[in-house]
Copies of this chain bind each other. A is one copy, B any other.
Amino acid sequence: MATIKDVAKAANVSVASVSRYLNAPDMVKAETRQRIAEAIKRLDYSPSALAVSMRTRQTQNIALIIQSITNMYYIDLYGALLEAVDRYGYSLSLFTTERSESALRKTIDNVTRNNYAGVILGFLDEPGVQRDLERLAQTLPLVLITCDPSQATIDNIFLDARDGISVATAHLLSIGKKRIAYIGAAPNSVISTEKYIGYASTLEKAGHVPDPKLVFHGLRQHFSTGMEGTAGFLALPRRPDGIVCATDDIGIGSIKQLLVGKVGIPDEIAVAGFNGISVLHSYEPELTTVVQPVQMMADTAMHMLMDRVKGVPPRAIRRLVVKGKLTVSNSSVA
């Protein structure tokens, strides 16, 4: 690969002029510009991003840290972010933690050492990492996408999951369901608690008493959790007539189990999920869900990041609150 020195020599100018040509073209005379341009083309030169970053202490890379790529929601988030990031001329790297704190710490180290321009962190729920995150936020621009309402020390986009699950639950109630079950995942995390509260409080408000036998918590945010939970409900002497699922993946699994068990959807049992992942439309019946404005969330996250990169705002913490929107399909209304 040709370097700036080679270009300078070929164009018979100093490296400084070539650098100027690259970064502030009108500071160099038209004729010189011509010569440099030609040399660059001839040598097929393109500046080393490494060297530029080294000198300017900035890169054009954004990191997205999520738990696992098997969770389809993250794929949508990633896709949305990819677009947003691209629009700013940055590129995006993906890191997964698989819910391990040590993996997260390793990733944080990686990201700082590589001078990423910023980091976006999607719905991590490792409990003991708030401190690490705060330290990270001190080092470089960081935006959290979170369901934790108490997050106040780091820029974040707060998705009201409690509200989302509440809306889903209320919907099942509104279509006349009386025994509504709940399937969650990732117990002991803030997000899990929030969602469960959304479910339980809505039932209570409607005069129902949440039945512990109608609540199942799996480990993974994965359709297998939905299948497992639903299979358990079907074995009950008194089956539920509705199932609220913490995520769409889980809802898909629930529906699959109902189909396998030849249970009528939505007559016998209706199902609702949460997230609004795009592949939902490839299933039949389609899952009623609470759709998140993922693209908007991604855009905003990127925007917040860029503000920090440019040091625009004062040191205040930024926060965006978003809620999902109920989208009814034939898993709850025929």
Query: Which A residues form the contact surface with B (CB < 8 A)?
Result: 1, 46-51, 53-54, 59, 61, 69-70, 72, 75, 78-79, 82, 91-96, 109-110, 112-115, 139, 223, 249, 252-253, 255-256, 259-260, 278-279, 281-284
The residue on B at minimum CB distance from A96 is B82
Listed by A's residue number, 23 A-B pairs whose Cβ atoms lie within 8 Å are A46-B113, A47-B113, A50-B54, A50-B114, A50-B115, A70-B278, A82-B96, A91-B93, A91-B95, A91-B110, A92-B93, A93-B93, A223-B279, A223-B281, A223-B282, A252-B282, A255-B284, A256-B282, A256-B283, A256-B284, A260-B284, A279-B279, A283-B283
A92 to B54, CA, bound (A): 21
A145 to B139, CA, bound (A): 38
Known contacts A78-B69, A92-B94; A109/B46 CB under 8 A? yes
A53 to B49, CA, bound (A): 11
Q: In the assembled complex, which residues on chain B have CB atoms less than 8 Å from the CB atom of A1? A: 112, 139
Contact residues of A: prevailing secondary structure: helix
A96 to B48, CA, bound (A): 22
Q: In the assembled complex, which residues on chain B have CB atoms less than 8 Å from the CB atom of A49? A: 110, 113-115
Q: In the assembled complex, which residues on chain B have CB atoms less than 8 Å from the CB atom of A255? A: 284
A115 to B96, CA, bound (A): 23
A209 to B259, CA, bound (A): 37
The residue on B at minimum CB distance from A223 is B282
Assess the B282–A253 pair: CB atoms within 8 A.
yes
Distance in Å: Cβ of A303 to nearest Cβ of chain B:
21
Q: In the assembled complex, which residues on chain B have CB atoms less than 8 Å from the CB atom of A69? A: 75, 78-79, 82
A50 to B75, CA, bound (A): 29
Q: In the assembled complex, which residues on chain B have CB atoms less than 8 Å from the CB atom of A281? A: 223
The residue on B at minimum CB distance from A94 is B94
Q: A69-B75, A75-B75, A256-B284 are in contact. List 6 more A-B contacts (CB 8 A).
A: A48-B115, A50-B59, A92-B94, A252-B282, A259-B284, A260-B284
A247 to B50, CA, bound (A): 39
A78 to B95, CA, bound (A): 11
A114 to B93, CA, bound (A): 13
Q: In the assembled complex, which residues on chain B have CB atoms less than 8 Å from the CB atom of A59? A: 50
Distance in Å: Cβ of A254 to nearest Cβ of chain B:
10
Q: In the assembled complex, which residues on chain B have CB atoms less than 8 Å from the CB atom of A259? A: 284
A224 to B9, CA, bound (A): 55
Q: In the assembled complex, which residues on chain B have CB atoms less than 8 Å from the CB atom of A50? A: 50, 53-54, 59, 113-115
A223 to B286, CA, bound (A): 14
Most buried by B among A50, A115, A281: A50
Most buried by B among A79, A91, A278, A281: A91
A243 to B121, CA, bound (A): 42
A252 to B252, CA, bound (A): 14
Q: In the assembled complex, which residues on chain B have CB atoms less than 8 Å from the CB atom of A282? A: 223, 249, 252-253, 256
